[in-house]
Amino acid sequence: MSKTSEKIESVVSQGRVKLHIFEPSKRKIWTVVGMGEEHWLDPDLDYCSCPGYYFGKLNKKQGCYHLEAAIVAKKENKFETISFLDEEYADFVAGLISDL
């Protein structure tokens, strides 16, 4: 098993993939808790906010392990769902952006 595969398996098995759903609009934000950081991503659009994804894409490489872990977790239904009110959406997004 490769180092990347081990990271992906670890993230999924430790429940570090999160789906944040805002009610009643049903807006969704996926996050993966990494090493001391939380990255937001969109598995359907093949995007992650981590530097590894950004620099990897600049060099025409694959995505990052966060994105792969989210795809696996989504496929295997192994993610945590957290509900919020729509009124909390702006503050939630602002918090994610401030972490960048």
Would you state the structure tokens that stand for residue 90, as one six-digit string? 């702006």
* Residue 29: Cβ within 10 Å count: 18
Domain count, the chain: 1
pLDDT of residue 8: 92
Q: Which pLDDT score is estimated for 1?
A: 66
The reported pLDDT for the residue numbered 61 is 74
Q: 19: helix, coil or strand?
A: strand
Sheet with 38-42: strands ordered across: 47-48, 38-42, 27-33, 17-23, 80-85
pLDDT along the chain (100 residues), means of 10: 86 96 97 86 91 82 87 96 97 86
Facing residues of 80 across strands?
A: 18
Phi, psi (deg, nearest 5) at residue 79: -135, 160
Quote the domain boundaries for residue 44: 3-98
To which residue do tokens 């805002």 refer?
22
The pLDDT assigned to 20 comes to 98
